[in-house]
């Protein structure tokens, strides 16, 4: 029984140790261990050592042959090397070789030299961010994916906004205008996260790769020391794609649209079938819309809107005078209904920045014009009233500034009178309440929006 338990424990020990990287340390000198391995300062290959640096030995972190990818991330491998340096009494670890996951191994591998230095405060250590004099007002994230065996592509997001597609041998730059904490993520069969604190005026390098998975592989995101990352970024053969930070508020939005319009007012009872059909033609027409909004926040804006509805019809008709005489001739109507007024816009942008929903409310001036022909005589009917407008709009972005959207609109107003204009004579006609003219119009159309 004891032998069986011992065998099981030994087997478990072998399995657990096999899942971790292999650590090999060769020491020339052995000093008192440090109390905390976090005191060890890490230098990159190009960093300069002080003159009194004493070499204690070397550390090699390699693949045991069964090491799991999650146990071989750069952070975990570096921690192992720092622990070995601290145990040896060294307070400086200088990376001499860094091998990334590739066809031979799914983990990071390091060769490093351990040193003892009297004062580490003045050391210039490898940094994950470097000042950039060319852009002091914003930070730049440099994403890149070196060539490799796994060709699975995936999207890289910053705070749930897709900014880069990690394809074979590609790179991209992403501008961020505000300092702060951001979350970089990517997903294939599993989602990977990389939190990062960004400061204006600095460059950051994020290496994207793929580790072994069940199906498509798993995305790997690594914040690389700047001096190393810049070299690798420049070695990518493809051109650089630059994306501006979508979190920057675009205050102005200018839109123009066109579509189908329909008047919703009821056709008056009476008249013959021909007259009824004639009036039905005037219920369908062309709608257009123009607006400009200033957004005081991402979700609230104020602006000005001008929209219109146009419909026309023509045919042969007749008119009966008060004396009972009936005259026949051509008749035509060319109706234009316009709305102009201030609007309030409520906007919602999806997390990935690709879709936009708007709801606009407006109150303004509404006009009615009918350029009519009665028995070959030209007359004009003009009226005005207070109008209301509401728009529902759903759009998709087609770049940083441009978007296209489908808009449904309802404009309403009631005409209580009009001016009848014939040659130089104008007569105002007030309508009875049961004869009020409804100007309510529904429209559906396509809009193009420009935000800046």
In degrees, rounded to 5, the angle at the alpha carbon of residue 403 between the alpha carbons of residues 399 and 407 is 165
What is the CATH code for 129-243?
A: 2.60.40
Determine how many CB atoms are found less than 10 A away from the CB of residue 24.
11
Domains 129-243 and 252-451 in one fold: no
Q: Where are the domains positioned within the chain?
A: 17-116, 129-243, 252-451
Query: How many CA atoms within 13 Å lie on the side-chain side of 3?
Result: 0
Phi, psi of 127 (to 5 degrees): -115, 150
**Would the pTM of this model clear 0.75, i.e. be above it?**
no
What is the CATH code for 252-451?
A: 2.40.160.20
Ordered per-residue pLDDT tens for the chain, 452 residues: 444 434 334 334 444 445 788 888 888 887 888 888 778 888 876 677 888 889 999 999 998 877 777 778 777 888 899 999 999 999 898 888 878 777 678 788 889 999 998 887 766 555 666 666 678 888 999 999 987 766 678 889 888 788 888 888 889 999 888 888 888 988 877 788 888 888 888 899 999 988 766 656 788 888 888 878 888 999 888 788 666 554 456 889 999 999 999 999 886 655 667 777 888 888 999 999 999 999 988 789 999 999 999 999 988 776 665 566 666 778 899 999 999 999 999 998 775 567 889 999 999 999 999 999 887 788 999 999 999 999 999 999 887 688 999 999 999 999 999 999 988 899 999 999 888 999 999 999 999 999 98
Please tell me the distance from the alpha carbon of residue 202 to that of residue 177, in angstroms, as a whole number.
Answer: 11
Please tell me the distance from the alpha carbon of residue 300 to that of residue 345, in angstroms, as a whole number.
Answer: 6
């Amino acid at each position: 029984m004891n032998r069986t338990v011992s065998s099981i424990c030994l087997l478990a020990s072998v399995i657990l140790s096999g899942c971790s990287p292999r650590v090999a340390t060769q020491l020339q000198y052995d000093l008192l261990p440090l109390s905390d391995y976090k005191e060890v300062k890490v230098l990159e290959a190009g960093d300069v050592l002080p003159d009194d640096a004493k070499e204690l030995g070397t550390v090699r972190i390699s693949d045991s042959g069964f090491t799991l990818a999650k146990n071989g991330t750069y952070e975990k491998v570096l921690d192992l090397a720092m622990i070995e340096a601290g145990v040896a009494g060294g307070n400086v670890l200088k990376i001499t070789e860094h091998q990334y996951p590739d066809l031979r191994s799914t983990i990071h591998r390091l060769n490093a030299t351990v040193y003892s230095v009297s004062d580490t405060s003045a050391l210039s250590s490898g940094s994950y961010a470097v000042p950039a004099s060319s852009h002091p007002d914003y930070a730049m994230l440099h994403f890149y994916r070196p060539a490799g065996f796994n060709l699975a592509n995936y999207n890289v997001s910053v705070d749930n906004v897709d900014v880069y597609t990690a394809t074979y041998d590609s790179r991209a730059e992403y501008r961020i205008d505000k300092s702060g904490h951001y979350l970089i993520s990517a997903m294939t069969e599993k989602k990977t996260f990389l939190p990062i604190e960004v400061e204006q005026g600095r460059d950051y390098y994020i290496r994207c790769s793929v580790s072994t998975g069940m199906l498509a592989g798993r995305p790997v995101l690594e914040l690389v020391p700047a001096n190393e990352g810049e070299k690798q970024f420049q070695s990518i053969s493809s051109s650089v794609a630059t994306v501006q930070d979508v979190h920057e508020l675009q205050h102005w939005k200018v839109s123009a649209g066109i579509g189908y319009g329909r008047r919703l007012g009821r056709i008056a009872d009476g008249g013959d079938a021909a007259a009824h059909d004639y009036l039905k033609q005037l219920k369908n027409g062309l709608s257009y819309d123009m607006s400009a909004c200033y957004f005081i926040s991402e979700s609230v804006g104020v602006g000005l809107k001008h929209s219109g509805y146009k419909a026309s019809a023509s045919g042969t008709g007749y008119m009966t005078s008060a004396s009972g005489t009936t005259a026949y001739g051509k008749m035509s109507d060319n109706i234009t209904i316009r709305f102009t007024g201030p609007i309030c816009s409520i906007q919602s942008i999806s997390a990935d920045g690709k879709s936009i929903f708007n709801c606009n409310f407006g109150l303004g001036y509404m006009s009615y014009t009918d350029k009519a022909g009665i028995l070959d005589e030209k007359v004009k009917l003009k009226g005005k009233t207070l109008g209301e407008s509401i728009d529902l709009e759903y759009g998709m972005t087609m770049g940083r500034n441009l978007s296209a959207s489908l808009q449904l609109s309802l404009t309403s107003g009631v005409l209580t009178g009009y001016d009848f204009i014939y040659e130089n004579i104008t007569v105002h006609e007030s309508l009875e309440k049961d004869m009020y003219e409804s100007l309510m119009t529904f429209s559906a159309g396509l809009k193009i929006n420009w935000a800046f």
